[in-house]
C-alpha cells in the first residue's frame, strides 16, 4: 500500500532499539538465536535495518560469523551496501550497544511497534477498500478479521519451551491419571467412547463422519448436551445446516425423551407427563452454558473470530461444527483456481489450528462420499475407510480422532440390529481404535449406552 510521507513518518518504531539489536548481534552472534526466535527481519522499521538483519540471519544460518566485514561483503555482493549506508553505517551500529544490554526489552519494543504498524496498515486498507465504488462490506470485514487474527497470532506465539518448563505439568497430568483415572478430557458420557479416548482432549481436532441420515448431527448434539448439562462446561455449537429453533427442539426431545415429531407437528399431542418432562428439560438446557450460532453462510475466518470472542467473554471448553463441508473459504485464503477439495483442506487445517490456539477440543461433523456403500454389499453393509471423507484427504491427516457413525437398519430395514448404531473409531492419534455399539432412539434423536462391559482397548 502506498502511504503519504506524513503517514509513513508517523508509523510507530523504535530506532534506538533496532540499532541496539543489530549492533549486539554483530558483536556477539549468540544473540541471533534469541532475536530471530521472537522477531524476523520484516519486524524492523527501516528498510536498511531489514536488509542488515536478514544478512546477519543468513550468514549465521549458513555457519559463517556475522560481523561488520562479512555483512558488508554480503550486502555489497547483492548490491545493497550503498542502500543501507555503507560500511560506515554498519560500523556505527556497534557504538549504539549499551555495555549491559537488556536484549529482551529491545526485542519486545521492536515486536510491539511492528504489530502496531500492521494494525495501522490493516486499518488504512479498510479505509481504502471502503471508499471504492464496488466495495463489499462483508469482504472487507472478513479481510479485516483475517488481518487481526494474523497479527494476534504473531504477537502471542509462544515459541519453543524447554523440557524443564513442560515436565512439571506433564507429571501432574500423569499423577492425576494414575490416582483418579482422569486424563483431563471432556467426558461424552458414552462410557466405552470415554474409556477408549480418555474424553475429548484439549487441542484435538475430532471428526464425526457419516453418510446422510445416519444421525451425525444428533450424536454431536447429544455429546454437546452431555458436556454442557452434566459437566457444566461452556459449549459452542455452529449449526450451518439447521436453524437454532430446530436445534432447540432436538435438544428438548433428546433431554426429555419425547417424540421429536410430536414437538414439531403436534401429532400426537403431548400428555401431561411429557409436558412436565419438556418443562423440566427446558430449565436444564436454559441454565446450561450452551451457545448456538446458526449463521447460514459462515466462513472459517468468521468462525475462528466468533469462537475467540466467545472464549474471551463467556469462556469456552469445546466447539462443535455441523458440518465441515458447509464452511466457506473467503478472502486471501482462496484463489479462483482452487478446487473444493483444496478449500476443504484449508478449512480442515484452520480447525486444527483453532483447537490448538484456543486450547479446546474442536469437533466437526463431516459427510462421507459414496465409496463405503459401493465397497460393501447389502447384507454386510458399508465398509469404511479414512479416504471416504468427502472432498478432501486433508481431513484424515489433520484430524486427531476420526469416528464413523453407522446404523445397519438404514441400509437393511429387516436388520436384527434395529435401534443400534456403530461408532467406529478409525483413527486416534494418541490411542487405540475400535468399534463401540450405542443404542439409538430414533423417535427422540437420542443415543444411549448399551450394556457397558470391561473392554480392553489395546
Of 108, 241, 274, 408, catalytic = 241
Return contacts of 382-387, CB within 8 angstroms, 24+ apart.
382/211, 382/406, 382/411, 384/424, 384/426, 385/426, 386/426, 386/427
Domain with CATH 3.40.50.300 in the chain: 184-449
Residue-level pLDDT at 71: 92
Q: Give 303's pLDDT tier (boundaries 50, 70, 90).
A: confident
Residue-level pLDDT at 334: 52
Q: Give 158's pLDDT tier (boundaries 50, 70, 90).
A: low
Domain with CATH 1.10.860.10 in the chain: 5-156
Return the SS3 of 382: coil
Give the CATH number of domain 184-449: 3.40.50.300
Q: What does the mean pLDDT of the chain come to?
A: 82
Q: Where are the alpha helices (DSSP H) in 226-339?
A: 244-256, 260-265, 272-287, 300-313
Active-site annotation holds for 396: no
Residue-level pLDDT at 379: 54
Rounded mean pLDDT, 297-325: 85
Strand partners, 448: 439
Please indicate whether residue 138 or residue 86 has the higher confidence score (pLDDT).
Answer: 86
Give percent helix, percent strand, percent coil of the chain, each to the nearest 5.
Answer: 55, 15, 35
**b (16+ CB within 10 A) / e for 354-385:** bbebbebbbbbbbbbeebbbeeeeeeebbebe
pLDDT tens track for 36-85? 888 888 899 989 999 999 999 889 888 889 999 999 999 999 899 999 89
**b (16+ CB within 10 A) / e for 134-148:** eeeeeebebbbbbbb
The share of the chain scoring above pLDDT 70, in percent, equals: 84
5-156: in CATH 1.10.860.10: yes
Q: Rounded CA gap, 192 and 101, in Å?
A: 58
Amino acid at each position: 500500500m502506498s502511504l503519504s510521507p506524513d503517514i509513513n513518518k508517523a508509523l510507530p518504531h523504535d530506532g534506538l532499539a533496532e540499532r541496539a539489536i543489530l549492533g549486539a548481534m554483530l558483536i556477539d552472534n549468540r544473540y541471533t538465536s534469541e532475536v530471530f526466535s521472537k522477531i524476523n527481519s520484516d519486524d524492523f522499521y527501516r528498510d536498511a535495518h531489514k536488509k542488515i538483519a536478514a544478512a546477519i540471519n543468513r550468514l549465521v544460518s549458513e555457519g559463517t560469523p556475522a560481523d561488520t566485514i562479512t555483512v558488508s561483503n554480503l550486502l555489497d555482493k547483492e548490491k545493497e551496501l550503498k542502500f543501507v549506508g555503507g560500511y560506515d553505517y554498519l560500523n556505527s551500529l556497534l557504538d549504539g550497544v549499551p555495555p549491559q544490554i537488556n536484549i529482551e526489552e529491545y526485542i519486545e519494543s521492536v515486536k510491539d511497534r511492528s504489530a502496531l504498524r500492521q494494525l495501522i496498515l490493516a486499518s488504512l486498507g479498510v479505509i481504502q477498500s471502503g471508499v471504492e465504488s464496488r466495495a463489499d462490506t462483508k469482504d472487507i470485514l472478513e479481510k479485516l478479521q483475517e488481518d487481526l487474527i494474523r497479527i494476534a497470532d504473531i504477537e502471542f506465539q509462544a515459541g519453543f519451551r524447554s523440557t524443564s518448563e513442560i515436565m512439571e505439568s506433564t507429571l501432574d497430568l500423569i499423577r492425576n491419571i494414575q490416582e483418579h483415572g482422569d486424563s483431563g478430557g471432556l467426558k461424552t458420557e458414552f462410557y466405552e467412547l470415554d474409556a477408549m479416548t480418555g474424553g475429548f482432549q484439549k487441542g484435538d481436532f475430532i471428526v464425526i463422519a457419516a453418510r446422510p441420515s445416519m444421525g451425525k448431527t444428533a450424536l454431536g448434539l447429544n455429546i454437546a448436551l452431555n458436556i454442557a448439562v452434566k459437566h457444566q462446561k461452556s459449549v459452542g455449537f455452529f449449526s450451518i445446516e439447521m436453524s437454532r429453533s430446530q436445534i432447540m427442539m432436538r435438544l428438548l426431545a433428546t433431554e426429555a425423551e419425547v417424540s421429536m415429531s410430536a414437538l414439531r407437528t403436534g401429532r400426537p399431542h403431548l400428555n401431561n407427563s411429557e409436558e412436565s418432562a419438556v418443562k423440566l428439560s427446558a430449565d436444564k438446557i436454559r441454565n446450561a452454558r450452551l451457545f448456538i450460532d446458526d449463521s447460514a453462510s459462515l466462513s472459517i475466518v468468521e468462525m475462528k473470530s466468533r469462537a475467540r470472542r466467545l472464549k474471551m467473554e463467556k469462556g469456552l471448553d469445546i466447539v462443535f461444527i455441523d458440518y465441515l463441508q458447509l464452511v466457506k473459504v473467503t478472502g486471501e485464503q482462496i484463489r479462483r483456481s482452487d478446487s473444493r477439495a483444496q478449500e476443504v483442506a484449508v478449512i480442515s487445517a484452520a480447525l486444527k489450528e483453532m483447537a490448538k490456539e484456543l486450547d479446546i477440543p474442536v469437533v466437526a461433523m463431516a459427510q462421507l462420499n459414496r465409496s463405503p456403500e459401493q465397497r460393501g454389499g447389502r447384507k454386510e453393509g458399508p465398509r469404511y475407510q479414512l479416504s471416504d471423507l468427502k472432498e478432501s484427504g486433508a481431513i484424515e491427516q489433520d484430524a486427531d480422532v476420526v469416528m464413523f457413525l453407522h446404523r445397519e437398519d438404514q441400509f437393511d430395514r429387516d436388520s436384527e440390529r434395529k435401534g443400534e448404531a456403530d461408532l467406529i473409531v478409525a483413527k486416534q492419534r494418541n490411542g487405540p481404535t475400535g468399534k463401540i455399539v450405542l443404542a439409538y432412539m430414533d423417535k427422540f434423536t437420542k443415543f444411549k449406552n448399551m450394556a457397558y462391559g470391561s473392554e480392553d482397548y489395546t
